[in-house]
Structure 1
Amino acid sequence: MFYLLYIAVGFLCGYFMIHWMPPVTPFDFTYFITELIFNPLRTFLAMICFFIGFLANAVVIRTVIEGVILCLQRKQVRWKEWFICCGGMGSFYWLFQWETRLAALFFIFSLIYGMISVDLDRSRQYNRNL
C-alpha cells in the first residue's frame, strides 16, 4: 500500500511542480528568471514539490529495476508490488502531456536516484522505503 502512496505523491508533486514553474515552452530566459525572482513562494513550493516528487518516484523506479534484476537472476520477486510500480510508471505519461521539458527533467532525476539506490541484498533489515 505504501507504493500506491508513493505513486500518488510523486504524481501530485510533479503536477504541482509543472504548474507552479513559469512556462518553458517558448523559452525566454529573461521572463523565466523574472518569474522565478518575483514569485518566490511559487518558486519555493515548486522546488519542494520537485524534491519530494523525485524521491517518491525514485522509490517506485528502484522497485521496478530491482524486480527486473531479481527476475533475471531467478530469485524471488514480490510480484504484487512490482506490478503496482510498473503501472504507476504510467503517471509520467500524463506529466509528459502537460510539460515535456520539466517532466523529462523530473523523470531523469528520479531515474538516476532510483538506479543509485538499488539494493539487491535483501538480507538487510533496515527500512528500504527511502
Structure 2
Amino acid sequence: MRRQLLLLLVGNICGYLMISWAPVITPFVWANFITDFTFHPLRSFLAMVCFFLGFVANAAVIRTFFEETLCLFVRQSVRWREWGMSVLLLPSFYWLFQLNARLTLLFFFFSVTYGMISIDLADGRRYNKWW
C-alpha cells in the first residue's frame, strides 16, 4: 500500500512538473514549439524526465488496478487497499487536465498504454482459472 501511495505521489508531482516546464504556445505552431524546446534545454530535459518518470509510475498504478479488477472478475482474492489506492489516480488526472488538457491526454495515453502492456497474464499466480 505504501508503494501505491508513493507511485501516486511520484506520478502526480512529475505530471505537474512536466506540465509546468513544457512550453505553452497558443495557438500551437510546431516550429515555435521546437524552437522553445531548443532555446531552453535544461527545462526541456527536465520536462522529458518528469514525463518519463510520471508515466511509468502511473502505469504501475494502472497495472495494479487492472490486475485487481481481473482478480475480482475471476473470484480470486483481491487486495482491496491497493485497488482503492489505484482508484485515486482518477482525481489526479482530473487535476492535471485542468492545468493543460493536451499534455495531460498525452500523459494519460502513455500511462494507460504502458500499464496495459505490462500486465503479465501468463504469470498464473492469482488468476489461473480464467485461462
Does TM-score exceed 0.5, indicating one fold?
yes
Q: CA offset at residue 25 of structure 1?
A: 4.5
Residue in structure 1 matched with residue 125 of structure 2 by the alignment = 123
Q: CA offset at residue 24 of structure 1?
A: 4.3
Q: RMSD of the alignment, in Å?
A: 1.5
Residue in structure 2 matched with residue 30 of structure 1 by the alignment = 31
Could you give the per-residue CA deviations for residues 2-53 of structure 1, whole angstroms, max 9, x where no partner exists?
1111000000000000111111452122221110000000010000000000
Q: CA offset at residue 122 of structure 1?
A: 5.7
Structure 2 length-normalised TM: 0.89
Q: Percent identity?
A: 54
**Farther-moved stretch of structure 1 (16-25 vs 71-80):** 16-25
Q: Which runs of 5+ in 2 are unaligned?
A: 127-131
Residues 72 and 42 (structure 1 numbering): CA distance in 2 closer, same or farther, change over 3 Å? same
The letter of the residue matching 1:61 is I
Q: Which runs of 5+ in 1 are unaligned?
A: 125-130
Alpha-carbon separation, structure 2, partners of 1:66 and 1:106: 21
Structure 1 length-normalised TM: 0.90
Alpha-carbon separation, structure 2, partners of 1:83 and 1:2: 13
Residue in structure 1 matched with residue 80 of structure 2 by the alignment = 79
Residue in structure 2 matched with residue 42 of structure 1 by the alignment = 43
Alpha-carbon separation, structure 1, partners of 2:110 and 2:60: 12
Residues 34 and 23 (structure 1 numbering): CA distance in 2 closer, same or farther, change over 3 Å? same
User: How many residues are aligned here?
Assistant: 124
Residues 66 and 38 (structure 1 numbering): CA distance in 2 closer, same or farther, change over 3 Å? same
